């Protein structure tokens, strides 16, 4: 859900997102397929995003949980889910092109 990723320090990056420029803190590199990340806007609460990659035969499955924040309308949740679905489809295409 972003582009123009620029490293800041360690697992912290800055990127342009559909909600504006944000810092993004990624989980530490690990062998368990955990790709959790937290979006950190300049103003407002942080947004935690759980993401996992699980091996499945010669491929893998990627899951991303979209949380409905307390201040979110149903339309906002639908918009976020659509953004995530678009990005997961893009990731799938990239990975299948490599295979």
pLDDT, position 52: 97
Q: CA 91 to CA 99: how far, in whole Å? A: 13
User: Residue by residue, what is the 3-state secondary structure of 41-57?
Assistant: CCCCCCEEECEEEEEEC
pLDDT (0 to 100) of residue 53: 96
What percentage of the chain carries pLDDT values higher than 90? 75
Task: State the pTM of this model.
Answer: 0.84
**What would the pLDDT profile of 43-67 be if each residue is shown by its tens digit?**
888 999 999 999 999 999 999 999 9
DSSP string, 6-75: EEEETTEEEEEETTEEEEEEEPPP-SS-B--EEEE-SSS--EEE-EEEEEETTEEEEEEPPP--TT--HH
């Amino acid at each position: 859900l972003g582009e123009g990723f620029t490293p800041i320090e360690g697992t912290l990056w800055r990127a342009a997102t559909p909600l504006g420029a944000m810092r993004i803190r990624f989980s530490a590199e690990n062998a368990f397929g955990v790709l959790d990340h937290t979006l950190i806007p300049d103003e407002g609460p942080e947004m935690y995003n759980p993401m996992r990659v699980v091996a499945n035969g010669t491929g893998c499955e990627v899951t991303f949980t979209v949380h409905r924040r307390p201040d979110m309308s149903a339309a906002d949740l639908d918009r976020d889910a659509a953004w995530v679905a678009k990005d997961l489809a893009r990731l799938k295409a990239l990975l299948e092109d490599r295979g």
